[in-house]
Structure 1
Amino acid sequence: MSFNLDFLLRENIKNLHPYSSARDEFDGEASVMLDANENAYGSPLSQSFNRYPDPLQLAVKQKLSTIKGVPADHIFLGNGSDEAIDLLFRAFCRPGIDNVILLPPTYGMYEVSANINDVAVRKVTLTADYQLDIDGIAAAIDAHTKIIFICSPNNPTGNSIRRQDIETILVNFDGIVVLDEAYINYSKQSSFLPSLVEFPNLVILQTLSKAWGLAALRLGMAFASKEIIQVFNKIKPPYNINQATQTFAIEALERIDTVNAWIRETVDERSLLVQQLQRIPQVQHITPSDANFVLVRLQDARELYRYLVSKGIIVRDRSTVTLCEGALRMTVGTPDENRALLSQIEEFYT
């Protein structure tokens, strides 16, 4: 592999003069801040939000650096992982010229973001056991292929992608490889974070929306080389992470023991849910999961989905998705929620 970040970058991004916010133009602390046209009297809320937030979220990144073992200047924070996905297209893919490779079934926002940015999508379907089709991926790559998106544990199937296959792509592809680890906290497979120093073309996505229970805050993370993170920071909006999100994120990151306990309980509940589902005769297959959900193939899946909705239980109908025909994706809930789900499934088939 011959990875050249400068070659991959769009020319307009190379030449871009980024917006410089008020907080970018001085270092250290200030006692009188009259640079950003803020309301100096405060805000009507119990906490003060009249000042613009740190545009680089350094306090949050320092907390994450300790937890993740990654230097703070190798971390980007976005308005959900979706912001990092969009920035990847805007930084590296020329509209109407370049293409990316997606591996369905997979997370839907990769394709949505590609379409928004007018970037062609080449799809290489996973194998029957939801693993990478290495030969198919190699055949799909051409001189205009800039990014390959890999989701592991995969959404919507829940399985982890074989580590050796991911490394094969990283070694042999000259472009950016995005590894989406949104569900890595629930997986037996270890994160690729320690491999960032080995693979300069690797971008890892994680989130505080899943195991950390902060979905409403919309805080996603991208980990990559310092050079790639500098590109993200160059083109992101100046204050993309609001102060409330930064404040609550720091508070949450100080409670890692609570989160780890939730992860253990979720994994245990996942096993119990699978055991109970396997006792239902109409359940045809359950994909082994490393996530906080299971993909279940059942008889009359769409009818069951509609029945569950009528009972106020919402799962995800994946029955029309490639390789997921006749399947529903079920998030692992609390013990009471899981019992309610199982009870209604059994009632439907009775």
Structure 2
Amino acid sequence: MFNINNIIRENIKNLKPYSSARDEFKGEASVYLDANENAFGSPLETNYHRYPDPLAHAVKLELSKIKGVPPRNIFLGNGSDEAIDILFRSFCNPGKDNVIIVPPTYGMYEVSANINDITLKRVNLTEDFQLNLEGIAEAIDENTKLIFICSPNNPTGNSINREDVETLLANFNGIVVIDEAYINFSRQKSFIQELTEYANLVVLQTLSKAWGLAGLRVGMAFASEEIIEIFNKVKPPYNINQSSQELALAALKNVTQVNEWIKQILSERDNLVLNIKNFDFVIDIYPSDANFILVKTTDANQVYNHLVNDGIIIRNRNKVELCEGCVRITIGTLEENKALLDSLKSYKN
């Protein structure tokens, strides 16, 4: 049975978080002389001389309407990378604990583990890029605190079988982290609807992909109220700046536009697959639930360099586990995809 008190680090249990001026006074006033801000304003058209809401309540309220999750179950971070780092710092003791990743997968899990001096256990996906449940079960020990699952997966693009994830959630006494950065492009429903079913579930999402806000660096974590309280305890006091909060809030009111872009991206993805599969240097195109495709070629390095010479940048995944010979191609606009195809037509094996 999962019990958060069994996995949280002792120093985090006893941590007294920093109390900012905006934590101690949350009402409205006519004169603010509490936070050592510059009362004269900013050298910009818009004033940013006041510290932002430490918990970005307005953004969480708008997200709550869209996601169907109470604000108390939402954490906002400086990208989802901040949420990943906080998971390590809250639940994993350096030099003692370990986490499990399932390569090929998002590279920041490993980087964050190394930064925090946490042992990383790799259990590769199967040949069809699904979980090796038997291998994961064998890798778990008493010091395993986190299992990271990216679904839809980066760089492969496929969604992970839901039943397999539920098996882990039901049987693992640590936290299962499901990274849904690309969920808006997927036919699979989000796991955020399962938060009340699994106390050990953390779902990561982002405004960087479908929402087109990569430059704002706003990531989301959805979890039980207990886990979110720990996130808020550990995070820096003002981790989401005022401009990002304002712009994110404005963007979240344009769901219709985002949904239209998603339809266009999915249509362009299908069109790109139909065209690319006809090239003689293409061995396979893997099924994708994301805004990119993974393409296995006869020579990934040559394909990549050819496109670079034409000013087109894709991602060479040739050195990634199970992705030998592969390149990852993000779905662009109609014009960008045409430029890609025109360049590939001139590629010589």
Percentage of identical aligned residues: 63
**Map of 1:261 onto structure 2:** 260
How many angstroms does 1:220 deviate by? 0.3
Aligned to 1:67, the other structure's residue is in SS state helix
Matched ranges for 1:85-164 at <5 A: 85-164=84-163
Shift of 1:27: 2.9
User: Residue 282 of structure 1: CA displacement?
Assistant: 1.5
Q: Look up the match of 1:44.
A: 43
**1:281 and 2:272 equivalent?**
no
Shift of 1:349: 2.7
Residue matched to 2:303: 304
SS at match of 2:346: helix
Q: Show structure 1 runs of 4+ deviating over 4 A.
A: none
Partner of 1:243: 242
Q: Number of residues paired by the alignment?
A: 349
Cα deviation for residue 29 of structure 1 reads 1.3
Distance 2:13 2:234 in 1: 10
User: 3-state DSSP class of the match of 2:39?
Assistant: coil
State the Cα distance separating 1:273 from its structure 2 match: 0.3
Q: Aligned partners of 1:298, 1:161: CA distance in 2, in Å?
A: 24
AA in 1 matched with 2:107? G
Q: Structure 1 counterpart of 2:127, which letter?
A: A
SS class of match (1:349): coil
Quick one: which amino acid aligns to residue 5 of structure 1?
I
Counterpart position of 1:317: 316
TM-score by length of 1: 0.99
Which digits, 9 at most, give the CA deviation of each residue in 1:324-350, with x for residues without a partner?
000000000001111111111120137
State the match for 1:193 in structure 2.
192
CA distance in 2, matches of 1:222, 1:136: 27
The secondary structure found in structure 2 opposite 1:36 is: coil
Secondary structure of 1:76 counterpart: strand
Alignment gaps of 5+ in structure 1 = none
Letter in 1 for 2:263: R
Residue type of the alignment partner of 2:201:
L
- Deviation digits for residues 228-260 of structure 1 (CA, Å, limit 9, x no counterpart): 000000010000000000000001001010000
1:270 aligned residue: 269
Partner of 2:57: 58
Which 10-residue stretch deviates more, 299-308 or 168-177?
A: 299-308
What is the distance in 1 between the residues matched to 2:172 and 2:76? Answer: 26
Q: Which runs of 5+ in 2 are unaligned?
A: none
What value does the CA root-mean-square deviation take over the aligned residues? 0.7
Amino acid in structure 1 at the alignment position of 2:106: Y
Q: TM-score, normalised by structure 2?
A: 0.99
Separation (CA, whole Å) in 2 of partners of 1:260 and 1:254: 12
Partners of 1:240 and 1:349 lie apart in 2 by: 49
Return the letter of the residue paired with 1:145: T
Q: Cα deviation per residue 1:54-83 (whole Å; 9 max; x = unaligned)? A: 000000000000000000010000000000
Q: Distance in 2 between matches of 1:236 and 1:264?
A: 35
SS of the residue 1:136 aligns to: helix
Q: In structure 2, what residue type is equivalent to 1:226?
A: E
Q: Which residue identity lines up with residue 138 of structure 1 in the other structure? A: A
